[in-house]
Chain A
Amino acid sequence: MPDNWEIGKEAKELDQKSILERIKIEKSSIKKIIGVLLIYCFTMTLFYFFL
């Protein structure tokens, strides 16, 4: 077992980059955000009918 955690490696690497690099998000992430917003609408519809 190694002495150091492997946790947070990518976060540390990202922290070495400029804030502009960290602000940028990939297209695939935007698609996932839209997908999750659709889940929100679906959940609220369920609440509307069942609560």
Chain B
Amino acid sequence: MELILFIIILAFLFESMDSMAGMGFGTALSPLLFLFGYSPLQVVPTILISEAITGIIDTFFDHEFKNVQYSFHPLNDATKIALIMSFFGCIAIFASIILGYLAIKFPDFVIKMYVAILVIFMGVSGFIRIKLIKIEQSKRRLKMLIGFSALAGFNKGIGGGGYGPVITLGQIFSGIYEKSATAIVSFAESLVSIVGILTFFLISFAGVVVDLVLLPSIFTGGFIAALLAPYLVRVFPNKIWKYFIPIYAIGIGLFSLLKIIML
């Protein structure tokens, strides 16, 4: 077993940002690891396994630190929303891995460009929303939320990514408190990652070899972040997350755009 310090640090940084802003772990960490010479079969399953475990820990401590409250019996709003978003996400990740395995490709440039621009647009809208529009914060907009979940799932399913930014900002646009929105995303992403892992197992039976050499390092960095981030979300006031989330989404969108232009 090998522990690589710079991978631990990268995983810690991006998982912290992912837990606090609801986005960025896969979108930002994967291309960096590809740049360091790791292959998709070393990076993608490892990120999914790490995200599944750290997502569960993150969800547990978001509940513990009162960023959000879950209840399964009876199901409360937060749990229902996490399950709705997971439903679309699970279909999407299953479709994207199978399509990737079957080498069925949609026009990569157009899809990635569309998702990057969508994420930037949502980030800018989120920012303008704080500045200009006085919306009643907690007004229930369930249809809008389902629409954003489906859109996020569709984008991920066709291989464009951007699941985290779309469902996080989608929740905020639908009236959910910022701190709780990022917590619910962690819950949904952990369930989606579990389906992703199962799909990888499915294709590994068909002869695809998965390499987990990065797992101890990514898991270690992600684990520390999953403990620390829910606490930081609790301690810092919501006003900070209100600005931080759209700004980080714009950053992720610009990073994706830059990646498309440079490659």
In the bound complex, what is the Cα–Cα distance between A41 and B234 (angstroms)?
26
Binding site for B on A (CB under 8 A): 1-12, 14-15, 19, 22-23, 25, 29, 32-33, 36, 40, 43-44, 47-48, 51
* Segment among B15-23, B152-160, B175-183 that sits at the interface with chain A: B175-183
Contact A5 B179 (CB under 8 A): no
Number of A-B contacts (CB under 8 A): 87
Q: How far is the CA of A2 from the CA of B77 in the complex (A)?
A: 11
Kindly specify which of B123-131, B199-207, B211-219 makes contact with the partner chain: B211-219
**B57 contacts the other chain (Cβ, under 8 Å)?**
yes
12 inter-chain pairs at a CB distance below 8 angstroms, sorted by A residue, are A1-B140, A5-B138, A8-B68, A8-B180, A11-B238, A14-B234, A15-B238, A19-B235, A23-B235, A32-B61, A44-B219, A51-B215
0 or 1 for each of B208-234: is its CB under 8 Å from A? (1 = yes): 000011011001100100010001001
A10-B1 in contact (CB<8A): no
Please measure, in the bound complex, the distance between the C-alpha atom of A4 and the C-alpha atom of B177, giving whole angstroms. Answer: 11
- Report how far A7 CA is from B176 CA in the complex, Å: 7
Residues of chain A lying within 8 A (CB to CB) of residue B238? 11-12, 15
Q: Which of A5, A11, A23 contacts B77 (CB 8 A)?
A: A5
- B: which residues have CB within 8 A of A? 1, 53, 57, 60-61, 64-69, 76-78, 81, 136, 138-140, 175-177, 179-180, 184, 212-213, 215-216, 219-220, 223, 227, 231, 234-235, 237-238
Nearest residue (CB) in B for A49 is B1
Q: Is the CB of B139 within 8 A of A4?
A: yes
What DSSP secondary structure best describes chain B's contact surface?
A: helix
Shortest Cβ distance from B130 into chain A, in angstroms?
16
With A14-B66, A47-B216 given, is the CB distance from A7 to B180 under 8 Å? yes
Q: Which 7 A-B pairs have the closest CB atoms?
A: A8-B177, A8-B180, A4-B138, A10-B66, A11-B179, A48-B1, A7-B78
B64, B212, B215: which has the most chain A beta carbons within 10 Å? B64
**Which B residues lie within 8 Å of A44 (CB)?**
1, 216, 219-220
Q: Are A3 and B65 in contact (CB under 8 A)?
A: no
* Contacting residues, chain A, for B69 (C-beta < 8 A): 9-10
Asked whether, in the complex, the Cβ of A43 is within 8 Å of the Cβ of B53, the reply is yes
Q: How far is the CA of A6 from the CA of B64 in the complex (A)?
A: 17
